[in-house]
Each structure stands twice: as C-alpha cells, then as structure tokens.
Chain A
Amino acid sequence: MSNHLGAPHGMIPNLCILPGAFLVVLFSVSLSLLISLLSTGPNESFWYTFGLTSSFVLWVTCLSTLILCWLRNRLNTLSAPATTSFVLLVIGLTTVIASLLTLRFVFIVSLEFDNTAQWWFVGRNVFVAEMVASVWLRYLYLEQQMQSSIKAESEAQFKALQAKIQPHFFFNTLNTIASLIHIAPNRAEKTIEQLADIFRASLNPKQQLISLEEEVSLCKAYLKIEQERLGDKLTVNWDIGIDLEMALIPPFTLQPIIENAVYHGIQQISSGGTIFIKMNVSDRKVVIQVSNPFASNTRQSGNQMALDNIRKRLFIRYQQSAKLTSRQDENDYIVTLELPLEKSEGQKHEHLDN
C-alpha cells in the first residue's frame, strides 16, 4: 500500500482484490470450523454441520464484503463510529437474510411470525455475527490509527529533512549586501531581490512537487548571489536538454547539490572554476548531472551530509525509483540525480495512488 503522504487512509480495506478476498474466505472457513467443533456432539455428523455452517458463514461474509466493497469509498470518508455502525448494520442484515433463507430452503420450514424457535435461530446468528464483526472492526480501527500515526511520522520526517536556507549562505549573503550597499547600490538591491526569492521558496513547504523550471530559476537566483560574493571565480555552464516546464521535482532537490558544488568545490580553489549542470531525459527518467572541480588538498569534508538529506527525502517520496549518486575522478566531483519523469499537466499527485 502506498500511503506515504498519500490520500487519507480509510478504515475499511479493499477486500475485493486478492489478498483481502482470500483472507475473507480463509477467515470464514476457520470460523465455521470453530463453530462446528463446538456444536457437534459425539453422535452427530461433523461434516454435515461443518458444510452447513461454512456455507452459511461464507454467504454472510461474501455478501457483506461485496456491499462494503461497493460502498467502500463513501464509507471511508465517514467517521470511525459511523463506519462501525454501518458495517454492523450491513452484517446484521445479511445475517438475517441468510438465516431466513436457511430456515426456508435448508430446514424447509415455512416461516412463521410467532415461532419462538425461528426467532431464537435468527437472533442467535445475528448476535454471533455482530460479536465477530465487532472484534474485526476493533482491529481495523486500531490498524487505521497505526497507519495514520506512521503517516504523520513520515510527514514530520519529510518536513524535518526539507531543505532550509543554510545559515552560512544566509549570513554570507547579508555580508555581501552590506558591502555592496556602499560600492554598488544597484547590485545590492538585485541581491536582496534574489535572496527574497530563495527565502520565499523555502518557506513554502506545502508544495511537494514543483516544475523543474521553478527549481532551475531558484538555482539561478542562488548562483547569481554566489557569483556576486565570489566574483569571477565562479562560472556556470547550463546544458538543458529537457522541457523544463514539463518535468516535476521536489523543491530544493537540485539547489543543495549546486550549493555543495560551490561551497565544497569552487570556493576552495583559489583560481575558481566552472560548475557544469546537464539535464536530459532518458528511459522515462529525468537525469541531472552536476560536476565541479575540487581542490585536492581541502581539509574540510562533510559534503555528504547534504546529499544524504536529499537521498532520504527522495526515498520517502519515490522509494527505489529515484537515485542520487556521487563519484569523483581525478579532477571533478560528479553528482547524478535520477528521478522518474512526472508530467506537470494537471494530475500532480497521481503517482501517489499508484
């Protein structure tokens, strides 16, 4: 079940597809076995009782299952008490119908309104069915509680992992602006505008996917600021072989990779260097590659932290279908990001329901 960050998880599972349906049958047979064992005396035929009981129980469970499948989507929008009452009602009704049909066609008696034995038969069956159904509903309720707490947990985890503006970037930018105000007010103004854009984007955690276009313009704003700070040390080469408006990406996925390339790569080289960013689509995947030269003699390491963070976020969202790898050759550090191609037209969240 893919309920990570997905639609609300209802109480009633889908029992009309294979694992569910099989479990219903298995449960019915087990219950019948139990009832038969308890009710068969030494001189009675066990198999006769078992056959009769299991056809009765299967009839009740299958009919109820069909009704619940049919009404499932609507039921799952109701509150837990309402759903419980409704399910109990459905099971009660199917049991009454099954009991009456059994009296009429198996025991071949005519139904009489004032026959206490017939009332007792129907009443006992309904009572047992409701008892069993209550246990089942209790189980479903607990499971739903657990699922929603898991979901809340993974959402909280996702939020915690969500990229924040790095404090060193923020303060360095303020320092750049403080300096520019005196020597180039126009550039100071521009830098403030770009910082505002980045800040606004980072404050909008609700959107789980944005267009690649938006992410790229965020990266460009970020790079403009860094170019102001680092001067001509930093150059960037974009090679975009993809329709940016079409593809979707979780916000702040590419930006921290580029920030890493600046902070751990270019900035640590006295003569600076160029960051190469290449994007294309291959095999229904968006492939983004960021490569940067690095100083072989740097003391600081720790660029893995940002990458691990992105990796965790990608896993929560895409499980195995997204990949983030990094390698380094003699001169360059290369990060490759692979995401399933998601079209941005309309159905932004369709993949969540599988």
Chain B
Amino acid sequence: MNILITDDEYLARNRVQRLLLEIDPNHTVFEAENGVDAIKQCTNNNIDLIFMDIRMPDMDGLEAAWHLSKTETPPAIIFVTAYDDYALKAFSVNAIDYLLKPVKRENLIKAIEKAGKLNQTQLSKLNTKESNLGQRQHISTKLRGEIHLIPIRDIYFFQADQKYVNVCHKNGEALIEEPLKQLEQEFSDQFVRVHRSALVNKRIIEGLVKDKSGQLLMTLKETDHKLEVSRRHAPDIRKLIKSL
C-alpha cells in the first residue's frame, strides 16, 4: 500500500512511519509537511491512504482533504490529531476514521484494514457529503487530472462565465466549477461583488473611471484588467474605496 504521512512535526512523522513499517515492511511510505505538500505528493505518487495531521502551516489537513476529495480517485484519509476538538469537523470532510496522538499500534492496524476494505466507489460516495470547513486558503483547479492550488491572496478576481467561473490570479487564469454566490459567501471578508458576474479582491482595488459610453469601470493595482461596475453596486463600492 502507498501510504502518505502528513504532519508538520518530524518526530510525529517518524513515529508513524516506524510503526507502519513494523506492521508491514511492504508498505511504501511517503511524507509531507503540510497540506500543499500532501496534495503534491498525491499527484506524483499513487497514494492509497493518508494519515493527516490537522493543524499545519500553509494549508491545514481539513482543507487538504477537501481539495483531495474533489479528485476522481480520492485517497482514503485518516486524520491524526493530538486532541479531539477537531474530530467532528473532520468527519464532515469525509475522513474514514481518526486517530489520537500518540497513535497506538493496534489502532493503526485497524485503520489500515478499514481503509483497505473501502473501494473507489465508496470513497467517492464519501466525497459527495458537502462540508463546511470555513474559509479555505486555496482554490483548487483540476488540470489533466492534477490538482492545482491557487492561494486566495494571489487571486485578483472571480468572473462568472456561463457554466464556469474564471479565476484571474497572479500567475494566470483558471476555470473552476464553483458558483460565484458560494465564493462570495465564503470569502466575504476579502472579496467584494462589483457586478452580477464579478467578485474582486478588496486588496487590489485602485479606483473607478468612466469609459466613453459612461460605463463605470474599476481599475486594479496589480493588473491591467478593468472590471465593469454595475449601477446597483456602485454606491457600496464608492464607500468601500473611501474607507480603504
């Protein structure tokens, strides 16, 4: 079995790895230091099972699980945490089990058995549960079956385009399938609606100009894109610019 241990602490990874290899020396064990790293490892290696710490820098375990659950062949995820205050939340992100640190050998064996029994359809079914894990730090997109992560702070704006939402960010553009409404709710403290079809990162708002036809446009700090501002949203946007 290809197993990935995700934990920001070296000693914690080291111990689980030792136990796993004691249980079955044939396991192939990979390591990751945080959620972003874990997603990368999953794309590069064919991971069957992840032991996932919850609190980690850059991207925590809950968010990593959320992104992974959107893939076609999601790995089985078992959360490992020192204290069970996160446990309930973890189950809402389709974990098959959770273990408490320090992990006991017999619990590890049970968890691996449980993961082995689940087939791909069952794992995918787990994924259909909608989770509310709060605000993500990344948006994930799928490109040729791989997950690509875009940090929220790098995103300039979201623009709805028929079925998809176009994400314009520091390093280019990407399409995602999440409704704009949901993005607006999740990132309401960082993004603001300027038009029926657009959400802008407040951080990069520069000012407002009018084009020849009298249409109000928003200029942005780090990019040359100009966004239409609808009449309905104009008063709120003016207020916001004043307060910035």
Chain A complexes with chain B: yes
Task: Please give the residue numbers on chain A whose beta carbons come within 8 Å of chain B beta carbons, in ascending order.
Answer: 167-168, 171-172, 174-176, 178-180, 182-183, 228-231, 267-270, 295-300
Quick one: which of B15, B60, B134, B135 has the most chain A CB within 10 A?
B15
Q: Give the shortest distance, in Å, between B187 (CB) and chain A (any CB).
A: 12
Rounded to whole Å, the gap between the CB of B183 and the closest CB of chain A is 16
- State in angstroms the CA–CA spacing of A94 and B18 once bound together: 88
Contact yes or no, A295 B57, CB < 8 A:
yes
Q: Which residues from B are CB-within-8-Å of A182?
A: 15, 18
Within the complex, the shortest CB–CB distance from B203 to chain A, in Å, comes to 11
A-contact 0/1 string along B56-73, CB 8 Å cutoff: 011010010000000000
B102/A175 in contact, CB under 8 A: yes
Which A residues touch B15, using CB under 8 A?
175, 178-179, 182
Secondary structure at the B interface, as helix, strand, loop or mixed, is loop
User: B102, A229: Cβ atoms under 8 Å?
Assistant: no
Q: A269, B11: Cβ atoms under 8 Å?
A: no
Which B residues between 18 and 74 are near A, CB-CB below 8 angstroms? 18, 33-34, 55, 57-58, 60, 63
B interface, CB within 8 angstroms of A = 8-12, 14-15, 18, 33-34, 55, 57-58, 60, 63, 82-83, 85, 100-103, 134-137, 151-153
B147 to chain A, nearest CB (A): 18
> Which of B10, B11, B136: most chain A Cβ within 10 A?
B11
User: Quick one: which of A175, A176, A230, A270 contacts B58, CB cutoff 8 A?
Assistant: A270
Can you list 19 A-B contacts (CB < 8 A)? A168-B82, A168-B85, A171-B82, A172-B101, A175-B11, A175-B12, A175-B102, A178-B102, A182-B18, A230-B9, A231-B9, A267-B55, A267-B57, A270-B33, A270-B34, A297-B137, A297-B152, A299-B63, A299-B136
Determine how close the nearest CB of chain A comes to the CB of B209; give it in whole angstroms.
Answer: 30
Q: Are A299 and B101 in contact (CB under 8 A)?
A: no
Counting chain A CB atoms within 10 Å of each CB, the highest count among B8, B9, B12, B14 belongs to B9
- Measured CB to CB, the closest approach of chain B to A331, in angstroms, equals 15
Per the bound structure, the CA–CA distance linking A297 and B35 in Å amounts to: 14
Contact count A vs B, C-beta below 8 Å: 71
Closest-CB distance, B192 to chain A (whole angstroms): 19
Q: How many whole Å from B1's CB to the nearest CB in chain A?
A: 22
Which residues on the A side are within 8 Å of B153 (C-beta)?
296-297
Q: Are A269 and B57 in contact, CB atoms less than 8 angstroms apart?
A: yes
The interface residues of chain B lying within 8 Å CB-to-CB of A295 are 57-58
Indicate which residue in A228, A267, A299 contacts B134 across the interface (CB closer than 8 Å): A299
Q: Is the CB of B8 within 8 A of A167?
A: no
17 further interface pairs, Cβ-Cβ under 8 Å (given A175-B82, A175-B102, A299-B60): A167-B82, A168-B83, A171-B82, A171-B83, A172-B82, A175-B12, A176-B9, A179-B14, A229-B9, A268-B55, A270-B8, A270-B33, A296-B153, A297-B137, A297-B151, A297-B152, A299-B135
Give 8 nearest A-B pairs by CB, closest first: A179-B15, A179-B11, A171-B82, A178-B102, A175-B101, A168-B83, A175-B102, A270-B57
- Kindly provide the distance from the CB of B149 to the nearest chain A CB, expressed in whole angstroms: 12
Asked if B57 contacts A171 (CB within 8 A), the reply is no
In Å, the complex CA distance between A266 and B14 comes to: 21
Q: How far is the CB of B4 from chain A (nearest CB, A)?
A: 18
Q: How far is the CB of A277 from chain B (nearest CB, A)?
A: 22
Nearest A residue (CB) for B135: A299
CB neighbours (8 Å) of A230 from chain B are 9
In Å, the complex CA distance between A178 and B10 comes to: 13
Question: Taking the nearest CB of chain B, how far is it from the CB of A351, in angstroms?
Answer: 38
Q: Nearest chain B CB to A129's CB is how many angstroms away?
A: 65
Inside 8 A of B60's CB, which chain A residues have their CB? 299-300
A183, B134: Cβ atoms closer than 8 Å: no
Are A179 and B12 CB-contacts (below 8 A) given A168-B83, A172-B82, A174-B102?
Answer: yes
Min CB distance A176 to B, Å, is 5
Contact B55 A300 (CB under 8 A): yes
**CB-CB < 8 A to A176: which residues of B?**
9, 11-12
Residues of A within 8 A of B14 (CB): 179, 183
A172 to B81, CA, bound (A): 9
